[in-house]
Each structure stands twice: as structure tokens, then as C-alpha cells.
Amino acid sequence: MVTQELQERFGRIVAERREELGLSRPDVRMASGPSVATMARIENPQSSTAPPSPATLRLLDVGLRWTEGSAARALHGGDPMKLGEQSSVADGRGSQPPGRGEHDPLDFRAVELDVELVDALIAAADRCFQLCDRADLPDAAREAAQAVKAQLGVAVGRLAAAQATEVLERAGGPGNALPKNIERLIGAVLASPPTATGVERENQQYRRWLAGTATDLDPILVDSFFRRWRSKLNRISLIEGEGG
């Protein structure tokens, strides 16, 4: 049985490992770990908090660069093992650099894209939508065209939402009044209340929080949003040279 004491101990282990790696909760999510909200519950368990599921424990192993089964072992009172520690113990070698050794180089969830490429993709999608809706389209191709339009619409919608998030992180956030031209540019993204589930719903709430239009958010979620925003601003500063 996983007691409250074990959950609290586990939360400390997870938080310490995340800080050791220099990762924010969104960074862990981007590394194929659990969602930001799940990380917050794990690190700050309440008396009503249920223990992490086996699936979540597996995600923790990946996001925190632990060997398989480490999170489950730590939850039940044991100690997690970092990737590379097994081989180091066996043959006396030092640990591998971060991201190497047992880590799969194809195991990632996001890439950075040039803004011009994003704009070009969205423009190309608009032309594809127009083509799919042409009245003179052959009947034999009409069903396939609508299927392509629907699939492309979902992908482009997510791409546009990611672009809106980037803009809001740079222009919005606590203490910043969103410029009118930005409101007009991404107003459609913020117009309707969050309707998605899981990670995408969290992203919708995050965008509304950045724009100052979110209400009645859980304090733990607000804290995770603030950390995510500050982490992104730090990365922007490093990449664009604003930090010196």
C-alpha cells in the first residue's frame, strides 16, 4: 500500500531529480514525461491525491532520465537509478553525458521551426482547403479530399495554436497588458473557452492565462503556468542573447 508518507517522500525525490536536471515541469513534459498538472500533483501530494498510475510512473522514468522501473521502485520506498548508472557500476566507467547512453535519440516530442516555415505551411494549407472545396472536383476524389482537409485542419490548428502560444509568451503574462494588435491577431484562438482534454486543454488554459482572460484556475495550475512562462522567457533570453 502506498501511504501518504510514501507519496510525500516520492514527491520530494521527483522534485529533487527535476531540479538536478535543471528542468521545469513543462520541460519534463516536452521530454515525454507526465503533464504539468500531473507533475504538480506528484510533487505536492494532498491527503486526497491518488498514487501515480503505472503509466505515469513509466512516463516519469523517461522524463527524468531514470532506468525502467525506477519511479515505481521509488514510490514504494526504494531509490531510483539514473540512466547510465547500471553500466557505470558494472564496469567502473563514469556516467554518460546527458541525453546519451541508454537514451533513444529518436525519443523526443518537439522540434523548433523557423517562423517563415510555419507561415508557409499555414498558407499552403489554406490553398489546399480551397482546392478540396472546389465545386468542379471529380466525384471520385471528393470523399478523399474531405478526409485530407479534415486531417490537415487538425494539424494546422495545432500549429497555429503553438504559434499563438509563442506570441502570448512573448507579449503577455502577469503584469503585461496584451497589445491590441496581438489581440486582433490571435483573437480567434482565445475566443472560445477550453473544450479539449488532457494536455491540449492545459495548453488552451495556459494561453488564456497568458492573455489575462482565464478565471477560477486551480492555484497549483497557476503556479505551474508561471513556472512554464518564466522557463520559456529564460530560454528566449539565452537563445536571442538578451541575457548578455
Query: For residue 238, with 0-12 CB atoms within 10 Å meaning exposed, 13-18 middle and 19 or more buried, which class applies?
Result: exposed
- Whole-number mean pLDDT of the chain? 83
Phi-psi region of 131 (alpha: psi -120 to 50; beta: other; left: phi over 0): alpha
Residue bearing the bigger pLDDT, 128 or 100: 128
Give yes or no for a contact between 81 and 122, defined as CB atoms under 8 angstroms apart: no
Which pLDDT band, with edges at 50, 70 and 90, does 87 fall under?
very low
Give yes or no for a contact between 182 and 167, defined as CB atoms under 8 angstroms apart: yes
pLDDT score of 56 more than 60:
yes
Give yes or no for a contact between 58 and 71, defined as CB atoms under 8 angstroms apart: yes
pLDDT score of 28 more than 70:
yes
User: What is the model's pLDDT at position 72?
Assistant: 93
Sign, CA torsion 222/199/64/240 = negative
User: Residue 31 CA to chain centroid, in angstroms?
Assistant: 8
User: What is the model's pLDDT at position 31?
Assistant: 83
Query: How confident is the model over 110-124, as pLDDT tens digits?
Result: 677 788 998 899 999
Query: How confident is the model over 204-218, as pLDDT tens digits?
Result: 889 989 988 887 888
Domain range 4-91, CATH architecture = Orthogonal Bundle (1.10)
Residue bearing the bigger pLDDT, 229 or 86: 229
Taking the CA of residue 243 as centre, how many other CA atoms within 13 Å lie in the half-sphere pointing to its CB?
8
- How far apart are the C-alpha atoms of 241 and 14, rounded to whole Å? 31
pLDDT score of 144 more than 90:
yes
User: CA dist 43 to 7, 20, 39, 48, 51, Å?
Assistant: 9, 14, 6, 14, 11
Q: Give domain limits for the chain.
A: 4-91, 115-240
Q: Is 230 helix (H, G, I), strand (E, B) or coil?
A: helix
**Considering only CA atoms, which of 15, 20, 26, 7 is closest in space to residue 233?**
26
* H-state helical runs in 107-191: 115-132, 139-171, 180-191
Q: Is 66 helix (H, G, I), strand (E, B) or coil?
A: strand
Cell 503574462 identifies what position? Answer: 173
Residue bearing the bigger pLDDT, 244 or 172: 172
pLDDT score of 29 more than 70:
yes
User: CA dist 127 to 115, 121, 141, 158, 159, Å?
Assistant: 19, 10, 17, 18, 16
Q: Is 82 helix (H, G, I), strand (E, B) or coil?
A: strand
- How far apart are the C-alpha atoms of 9 and 80, rounded to whole Å? 12
Give the global pTM.
0.53
Q: What is the dihedral of CA 60, 63, 64, 70, to 10 degrees?
A: 40
Residue bearing the bigger pLDDT, 108 or 46: 46
